Structure 1
Amino acid sequence: MNLTGNTILITGGTSGIGLALAKQLNMLNNKVIICGRRAERLEEIRRVNAGIVTKVCDIADAQQRVDLTEWIFQNYPEINILINNAGVQLHTDFLRTGDLANIRKETEINFIAPIHFIQLFTSYLSRKESAAIINISSGLAFVPLAVAAVYSATKAAIHSLTLSLRYQLRNTTIKVFEIVPPSVDTELGYEHREDKTSTHGGMDVNEFASQVIDALQNDIYEAAIGTTANLRAKPQEMFDVLNRW
């Protein structure tokens, strides 16, 4: 896949994987558009990263997803790549009464929003000479982290969705990729840390983004980055390792 001269939307681009990808793709002479909820954060990113376009959008809201899509089609009609990256990871304790609002939030952001964006973009992208939809799943799609049961389930659903989408679009110009991250050093899951500003460790986010770009350039349609190859190959063994708590 050619990663120069494209116009790309990245959801959840204000931090972590989304921001690292935005910066590297921007340096490869692509027009990169990122969205997120934090207006101040988006403004700061736009100010220090010449060329990156920012737009406020809470992707948990269906109407805002529609509005964002229409705004892009009107202002950046050359759009040809969608990266479904935004995600939230919450903890679920089934021995306690669950917070249904949090379950809905996690499912909406991690699974329903990507499906909705795919529906909104696919017909438009299919008219492009070259296009791609890139879904960010997780190693937890293959080996769930029990404490993050809903998150893991949504990522398993993204994996399944991507397989079906790739098959449905096999006769179009749209390439369909799944990027499978390992634990990456980002803000994901910060709500559960005593220090809310800390990260959870894992792979350096810039190294991760570099490997993602290599995978896309080499048309690796299901790219298991870093340690996720072990999760994919040895699910039961790795489940026991991952859930020792």
Structure 2
Amino acid sequence: MRATPRVAVVSGGSSGIGWAFVETLLDEGYLVYACGRDAGRLARLKDAFPTAQVIPCDVTDRRSVRAFFRTIRNAHDRIDLLVSNAGGSREVDLARLDLCTDLTGEIRVNYEGAVNLIAESLPLLRAGAPSNLVIVGSGYGLVPSARVPLYSASKAALHSLAKTLHSTWASLAITVTEVCPPVVDTPSVQHRQVRKMPPHDVVAQALAGARRGKATVYPGKTRFLPLLNRLAPTLAERIVAKS
């Protein structure tokens, strides 16, 4: 029999999709560990959900990630669910770059940060097997947007990693599911006047897909992207590039 409560870890849990994951998993009875870099946001998360275990962690710093999981390991012998969600995006015009532009920020946070988190969590996920890893990607990881080109590139790398992990970790009884949402109603896109998907809807579909063992979940309008990208890739690129 599996010990209770189940243990879940959510990176980037203090805002947006991560916040919705924390709330949903607490409601489902998980013991939730959430991490993030912003102390103020973490404090607000703790105020909203006092039973959540909130720990500062910079996923781009391997030592910080290792210390985060050491804290969890000292309290528990396993992880049942890891949500790799921490990330960020910027609107960058590649035709108007200057020497001061940071061109690798999204790679460090969205891709390298996910790799750090996933690598350090593996022993605890193996101990909790059958367990689940949910990777929050993006529809822009399938087809890039000119508005957020560096974000798109980092999510494309993450999409490739997720596909590999889904196949290679199956033998470890760890289900790997990537969720590729459209534009989600989070603070980072408040300025955009477009239709946005509620974060709790993304979370519900991601968890349902993970529990069915799906490799990839396409919430909302991104469900059309794989087919459109196969049948009319040039059209797909034109549509998404302007989004």
- TM-score in terms of structure 2 length: 0.88
1:157-236 correspondence runs (5 A): 157-189=157-189, 193=191, 201-235=195-229, 236=233
CA distance in 2, matches of 1:122, 1:214: 22
Show the counterpart of 1:240.
238
CA separation of 1:88/1:199 partners in 2, compared to 1, >3 Å: closer, same or farther? farther
| 2:34–2:54 CA contact under 8 A, matched in 1 | yes
What is the one-letter code of the residue matched to 2:216? E
CA distance in 1, matches of 2:149, 2:39: 30
Residues 46-91 of structure 1: per-residue CA shift (max 9 Å, x gap): 2221421111112232321121121221133332321110111112
What is the one-letter code of the residue matched to 1:92? V
| 1:90–1:189 CA contact under 8 A, matched in 2 | no
| Corresponding residue SS for 1:126 | helix
1:42-191 correspondence runs (5 A): 42-98=42-98, 102-189=102-189
| 1:86–1:109 CA contact under 8 A, matched in 2 | yes
| Corresponding residue SS for 2:155 | helix
1:199: Cα distance to partner?
8.3
- TM-score in terms of structure 1 length: 0.87
CA distance in 2, matches of 1:48, 1:64: 25
Q: Identity, % of aligned pairs?
A: 25
CA separation of 1:171/1:90 partners in 2, compared to 1, >3 Å: closer, same or farther? same
CA distance in 1, matches of 2:194, 2:52: 27
User: How many pairs were matched up?
Assistant: 237
Residues 141-174 of structure 1: per-residue CA shift (max 9 Å, x gap): 1111012111101111111101111222121121
CA separation of 1:218/1:166 partners in 2, compared to 1, >3 Å: closer, same or farther? closer
1:244: Cα distance to partner?
3.6
- In angstroms, what is the RMSD of aligned CA positions? 2.3
Unaligned regions of 5+ residues in structure 1, if any? none
Residues 200-225 of structure 1: per-residue CA shift (max 9 Å, x gap): 65111222222223222333231111
CA distance in 2, matches of 1:99, 1:60: 23
